[in-house]
Amino acid sequence: MDLLISAIEVLMRWDVALALLVGSVGGVLIGAIPGVGPAVAIAILLPATFSMDPIVGLTLLLGIYGSSMYGGAIPAVLINTPGTAVNALTTYDGYPMTARGEPQRALSLAYSSSFFGGMFSVACLVLFAPVLAKVAPMFGSREIFLAALLGIILVIVAHRGQSLIAGALAALGIFIQTIGFEPVKYTQRYTFDQPFMQGGLNLIVVVLGLFALSQAFVLLTSEDEKFRTTRLRGGLLQGLRELARHPRVATVSASFGVLMGIIPGVGEFTAQFLSYTYAQRTSKRPEDFGHGASEGLIAAETSNNAVPAAAMVPLLALGIPGEALTAMMLSVFYVHNVVPGPGLFQNSMDFVVALYIALAVLNVLVLLFLLVATRPLIQLVKIPNRFLGICVLTLSFVGVYSLRNSVTDCVIAAVFGLFGYVLKRLDLPVVPIILGMVLGNIMEVKLRAGMARVKEPLDFIDRPIAFILFIVILLVLGAHLIRVLADRRDLKAAERETKTRPTRFGGLLFRRKGTIDRSRARAVRARHIRPGGERGQ
């Protein structure tokens, strides 16, 4: 009880409350605008959060992270265009409801499902917080190194059909973080005698370039779409009653979200598709899925909103981010010399509990805001792409320059922005670069510290948790190898059946000298192309 009271006192400050309100409302607005997304907003706001207290800055970023998926459901349901990448599955059953004249029912059900998923996740993590506080101190340097290595491997294998390029981009991120002075003996690495390279490439500069500037270039070079918005009639509270009629689907989907959020590199997309598949297979009317099934919409929205709170577990307990958004939040800790990891749970448990309470309050604020502001929010989808692009471009350069008042940083950010733009146009992932930079630094530091007591290779895994992590790494690599071989066998079978030679690049199938049977090609392609898009973009 004392811990809870202490955590509430942390949140009762006016600046924390204001950050929570601005973050929750701002996240909904960002999510409701197709083409922007929380990653761009968080990247732009990062420089501003460095001058705030850690709890204020993290509350602001958590507000955007947790509320953007609420707002992303609005265009997904009304105009069949997901506001954020993780709302792609919402269109499967949300838009068909709108098409048959039930937009208010679809939005109400999406809001209610999101609220349930968010609150379920927070409740689970508050209950498990004492367990985490006991387990976290068991992780030493070797265990954290292996956990970070597992995180990178999971990120790579999660990009099914693109694992090779994802691995190469993660390796590029690891290389980028080595530029500058080496942390132990302070020797220069890959600086080429250039003074501006001696300090290394700033993570925030790279983040702003790869996420914000690249998205600005995408918006500036894309045509405006003509959206026809739908007028809403009726109340938006009926979704709570409909959600209560499907407690099994909602609970299982939220559980998938919690589990997938805790595992680094997995996240919303895996949670959504596991939940959606479960809901369809256990439904009495599976044929309705994709045509406006309420259970499908519940599964999609409940699972993706259960992830944000769970994704904070590896970040807070081990200092290991699972995806790009939590990697950005990690930089807020570093700037204020707050080290996430086992020590945080031992010495600042009230800080951890305060963050989870903030997530719970966030869900309540967002739901109340949407119940009264959905109708005017619909107009946000009409903002022209080029206007958005100019705004993002300007704010990004302002943010980069404000870090160190450096024009060189702006040039570096622009270079990474162009690189990110090329990757997006080629439908290649950007997230592995950022995670490579963050996790690569953690791996280097922990490996050096862990090797001090290692005399033989097997000494590195002579402790229970280290050994378990090592076995998990082997299992993940083995399962991925089996899956790759099975996919290759299926491709060869498709080639023999169609008497063509399909080739793959970036996870896509192309035809050569003939026509592939379309149903067979779709079945094969569905197993190779990573669902949805990138997390957090």
Greater pLDDT, 224 or 485: 485
The confidence score (pLDDT) of residue 57 equals 84
Q: Residues 459-468: contacts with CB within 8 Å, 24+ apart?
A: 460/142, 461/142, 461/146, 463/140, 463/142, 463/143, 465/138, 465/139, 465/143, 466/142, 466/143, 466/146
Residues 6+ apart with CB under 8 A from 112: 239, 240, 242, 243
Please, which pLDDT band fits residue 422 given cuts at 50, 70 and 90? very high
All structural domains of the chain with their residue ranges: 2-465
| CA atoms of 59 and 479, how far apart (whole Å) | 38
CB atoms under 10 Å from CB of 295, counted, come to 27
Other Cβ atoms closer than 10 A to 498: 16
Please give the share of the chain, as a percent, with pLDDT higher than 90. 3
Predicted confidence (pLDDT) per residue in 424-477, tens digit = 888 888 888 888 888 888 888 888 887 777 777 777 888 888 888 889 889 988
Full-model pTM = 0.74
User: Phi and psi (nearest 5°) for 377?
Assistant: -65, -25
Lowest pLDDT segment from 56-70, 102-116, 498-512? 498-512
* The predicted structure's pLDDT at residue 277: 81
503 has pLDDT over 60: no
Let me know: does 78 contact 41? Beta carbons within 8 Å: no
User: Which tokens sit at 339?
Assistant: 């080290």
The answer to whether 303 touches 268, Cβ cutoff 8 Å, is: yes
For the stretch 259-295, pLDDT in tens is 888 876 666 777 887 788 888 888 888 777 777 788 8
Q: Is the separation of the CB atoms in 483 and 528 below 8 Å? A: no
- The answer to whether 516 and 498 are in contact (CB under 8 A) is yes
**446-475: burial string, b at 16+ Cβ within 10 Å, e else:** bbeebeeeeeeeeebbeeebbeebbeebee
Predicted pLDDT of residue 232: 57
The pLDDT score that the predictor gives to residue 521 is: 41
Are 535 and 268 a contacting pair, CB within 8 Å? yes
